Structure 1
Amino acid sequence: MQRLERNWNTAIERIKTWARTNSPWVVHFNSGSCNGCDIEILAALTPRYDLERFGVELHGSPRHADVLICTGPVTRQARDRLLRIYEQMPEPKFVVAIGSCAISGGVFQGCYNIVGHIDEVIPVDVYVPGCPPRPEAIIDGVVKLLGKLRPSPKPVIEEPAG
């Protein structure tokens, strides 16, 4: 019975991994930017660029999202909301920082209301630089993240231990 349960759990984990790598759900959070990056994210979702062809879907709820896309520097007002959104996401969760402001503070660096950039508050997996980054760069960042999500192939012939 325990062997069946272990195999069943392994199968469920494989199905979850497959689903996440082939159709990640994304939630977007603007932590205080000028909205330039937000416009480019929307452009990446239009039929011209069609980010959905990679299986990526934008959702409004962090409870169902696999990927958090962040734009802008972290303001004092947005810090707690950003942490709450990140904590509401199920494991495994991934973060993409889009734009110069999210990565380094950009033009807002040193402002009185800025706490810092995204990776000072939550861990970031992929960075997409630019002010604002082009839709192609955003798609490239998401594709790189999808590459991180895919498990590495197992060797056909395994080396003997010892």
Structure 2
Amino acid sequence: MLALTAKGGTIVIGLLKQIIKTGRVTEQYDSGTMPSRFRGQLVHEESLCLKCQVCRDACPTGALEFNNNQLVVDNNACIFCGRCVEVCEHKALSHTTEYRLATLTSQLSAKIRATLQRSLHIRHVDAGSCNACDWEMTALNNPIYDLQQYGIDFVASPRHADMLMVTGVVTRNLEQALKMTYDAVPAPKLVMAVGSCAASGKIYGESYAIRGSAGKIIPVDIYVPGCPPRPAALIYGLLLALDRLGGNSK
């Protein structure tokens, strides 16, 4: 017994030494820089564009359109694959490292913002995702991002939630479950569409098995584009909805 106790004490001391050596790992969502290979917001240099529309034809999700001979980018549908950049011979398109692309709808009233100033409880709903967005959401609870430092946490029951975070294109089999979960959340409530599938539904389109984007089934207040969006982008969307960004909002 003494030998086991001594061994356990040695292990604990070793862990404490490692923690001290590692130091603090938690960071603010916008404190780090994106790696050079990261593909963020797509930007367009008008002076270099010849309106050949090759980029539009190369886009697999229809995120690029020419309106009145001007290129329009639908960030909610963009999966940042880089195909449009590759096919543009005139180098008019490029990806930046900007990840703060979350947007709010006009239905997000000041009353809801004021109600949710102190804390936010989230219920996640997977409506038919590939799990990429879900993995990024899981990272929100690790020591690096530590979502709880913002007073935000995930809950098991929609009846305890203030917000639904929906991932994936809405499938026929999960449409009813999504509606019932939304109805179970007490008012006032928010809905965040996480990732390009939930935000636009254009990646898979529509079929007998697919209903489309989350906004076609339930009211959506916040859109966070990406395939998948980084944890920092998700935190930006959450803080944007809660009006806690101060001078960092775009």
TM-score of the superposition, structure 2-length normalised?
0.51
Tell whether 2:214 aligns with 1:95. Answer: no
Which structure would you say has the larger Rg?
A: 2
**Which has the larger share of helix?**
1
Q: How large is the RMSD of aligned CA atoms in angstroms?
A: 1.8
Shift of 1:60: 0.9
Equivalent in the alignment of 1:56:
152
Query: 1:138 — aligned with what?
Result: 234
SS at match of 2:166: strand
Structure 2 counterpart of 1:73: 169
Deviation of 1:112 after TM superposition, in Å, equals 3.5
Q: Equivalents in 2 of 1:97, 1:74: separation in Å?
A: 11
TM-score, normalised to structure 1, is 0.77
Cα distance in 1 between the residues matched to 2:215 and 2:221: 9
Between 42-51 and 107-116, report the one with greater CA deviation. Answer: 107-116
User: Alignment length, in residue pairs?
Assistant: 133
Matched ranges for 1:10-159 at <5 A: 20-147=116-243
Counterparts of 2:122 and 2:201, CA distance in 1: 23
What are the ranges of 5 or more consecutive residues in structure 2 without an aligned counterpart? Answer: 1-112, 245-250
> Does the 8 A contact of 2:202 with 2:212 survive in 1?
no
Quote how far apart the aligned CAs of 1:106 are: 4.2
Query: Matches of 1:143 and 1:106 in 2, distance apart?
Result: 26
SS of aligned partner of 2:223: strand
Q: Residues 33-54 of structure 1, C-alpha deviation per residue, up to 9 Å, x if partnerless?
A: 1000000001122110111111
CA gap of 1:140–1:67, structure 2 versus 1, over 3 A, is: same
Q: Does the CA-based 8 Å contact 2:145-2:231 persist in structure 1?
A: yes
Unaligned runs of 5+ in 1: 1-16, 149-162
Distance 1:18 1:126 in 2: 16
Q: d(CA) in 1 for partners of 2:115 and 2:189?
A: 14
Classify the secondary structure of the residue corresponding to 1:144: helix
Give the fraction of aligned pairs with identical amino acids, expressed as a percent: 45
SS in 1 for 2:203: helix
Contact 1:25–1:64 (8 Å) recurs in 2: yes
